[in-house]
Amino acid sequence: MFDEQMIEMLCEGVIDTLYMTIASTVLSYVFGMIMGVLLVICRKDGIAPRPMVYACLDVVVNLTRSFPFLILMIAVIPFTRFVVGTTIGNNATIVPLVIAAAPFVARLIEASLLEVDAGVVEAAQSMGASTWQIISKVLLPEALPSLLNGSAVAAITILGYSAMSGAVGGGGLGKLAIMYGYNRYQTDIMFITIILLIIIVQLFQMLGNWATKRSDKRVF
């Protein structure tokens, strides 16, 4: 069974999975970062309190997060078609992945930024820092190790979602597992895809841990 074609297919699966995961993670961070920062600065004890903005954002994030991913993926099919012109394949999977992951990323970022000592933010305010300066020079740099740690968590979660998307038209390892393992009872192929997924998860986590440790100047 391990003919050249099979190996080629597995390689392609790995590449597709990595592509979807990494692209979705990056895009989720673009949107999640904006939402996460807004959640932190707009809360009532934040540096630019805007209770209405906070409340709306909070609801939106909670709503999106309460959708099971597969259902969300089906629900946003019209939107996906509108954005990428199709509903199957890698790029079509990225759309629901980002919609599902961005609020999750927002929460991760919110938690990381809230870890920054309020005293340090206050010190910056006492030196006349503007809101934007506090975000860019205090909150984000001070939370960097925690943010990097969170990004590994986010990437791994998105990897899981991407595998799930194989059930409804997504590509990558998830599709292989379902196509061969579930539809054709080729458990050995399913087994290999699982091993590959585990390896990718391990790599993400190790990379995340390494980056976190390297960036943190607090412990020696």
Enumerate binding residues for other proteins (CB under 8 A): 117, 119-120, 122-130, 133, 137-138, 141-142, 144-145, 215-220
Residue 77 vs 129, nearer CB to other proteins: 129
Within 67-130, residue ranges assigned H as helices are 69-75, 77-84, 90-114, 118-126
- CB 145, CB 212: distance < 8 Å: yes
Residue that has been written with the tokens 């409804």 in this structure: 168
Q: How far apart are CA 91 and CA 172, in angstroms?
A: 11
Q: How far is the CB of 127 from other proteins (least distance, A)?
A: 4
Q: How far is the CB of 55 from other proteins (least distance, A)?
A: 18
Residue that has been written with the tokens 């959708």 in this structure: 67
Residue 11 vs 123, nearer CB to other proteins: 123
Residue 3 vs 217, nearer CB to other proteins: 217
Q: How far is the CB of 122 from other proteins (least distance, A)?
A: 6
Q: How far is the CB of 216 from other proteins (least distance, A)?
A: 8
Residue 124 vs 196, nearer CB to other proteins: 124
Residue type, 11: C
What DSSP designation does 2 have?
-
